[in-house]
Amino acid sequence: MMIHSTAIIDPKAEIDENVTVGPYAIINKNVYIASGTVIGSHATIDSYTDIGPNCQIFQYASVGTVPQAVRFKGEVTYLKIGRNTIIREFATLNRGTEFGGGVTEIGEDNFLMAYTHIAHDCKTGKGVIMANNATLAGHIVIGDYVIIGGLVAIHQFVRIGEYAYIGGKSALSKDIPPYVIAAGDRATLHGLNKVGLRRHQFSENTISELKRAYRIIFRIGLTVNEAVERVLAEVENLPEVKNFVNFIKSTQRGITR
């Protein structure tokens, strides 16, 4: 364990061996930091934060602070950060709220670039990348391996399906299906994220069938129910196609088109 002499650490914080804490970092009570994690200088880790192994939290990041929610009354809520996650300078991650489930949860292998913001009760999957100044309002759910470009603003309660790509300076107010590209203010869909799917070794057949499903649902003017029925009748019954259709059927905010 390497803890700089100027770091301020509450005695009720629990820090595993092989953790590095830089100069002037502040770690509050009821924090757990797993082995191999590095806390940069001037970073603040507030109470009820659980940080997994081998994470990197850079200087001036603000992690586990109370939510920016007028209904929050100081109740005990949590922030959980998965292993191998990188949190860059000036990022801000808030704890959950009692009315929103009580936990903000960051998945494994996330990369949160400078000035990103994750609000209360959000959940991100594995391998999520958020570029500089991307911001999540409360209660947002981000699927595995989603990439969110810089300066993106996402409305509360929006869901983004896995392997989606969100272009920079986009504003999202409705759900984004898995496997697609979305961009613009307000965001619209721009086809499948074929580059991302190939990078993650999706087969050409899977990509082709997803493309057929995408076209039926979004490009030929059918209602959602009509399109779903046609996809189920005409497109190969692959797990990815079922996931695509089920995501669309389960939307509460509506689907971006």
| Rounded Cα–Cα distance for residues 134 and 72 (Å) | 24
Which residues are catalytically annotated?
120-121, 138
Taking phi over 0 as left and psi of -120 to 50 as alpha, with beta for the rest, 157 belongs to: left
Rounded Cα gap, residues 176 and 154, in angstroms: 11
- How does DSSP classify residue 30? S
Query: Are 136 and 151 in contact, with CB atoms under 8 Å apart?
Result: no
Q: Select from 114, 101, 96 the least CA-distant residue to 50.
A: 96
Asked if 175 contacts 251 with a C-beta cutoff of 8 angstroms, the reply is: yes
Q: Are 35 and 17 a contacting pair, CB within 8 Å?
A: yes
Q: Give CA–CA dist 30/16, Å, rounded.
A: 13
Question: CA-to-CA distance for 165 and 234, rounded, in angstroms?
Answer: 26
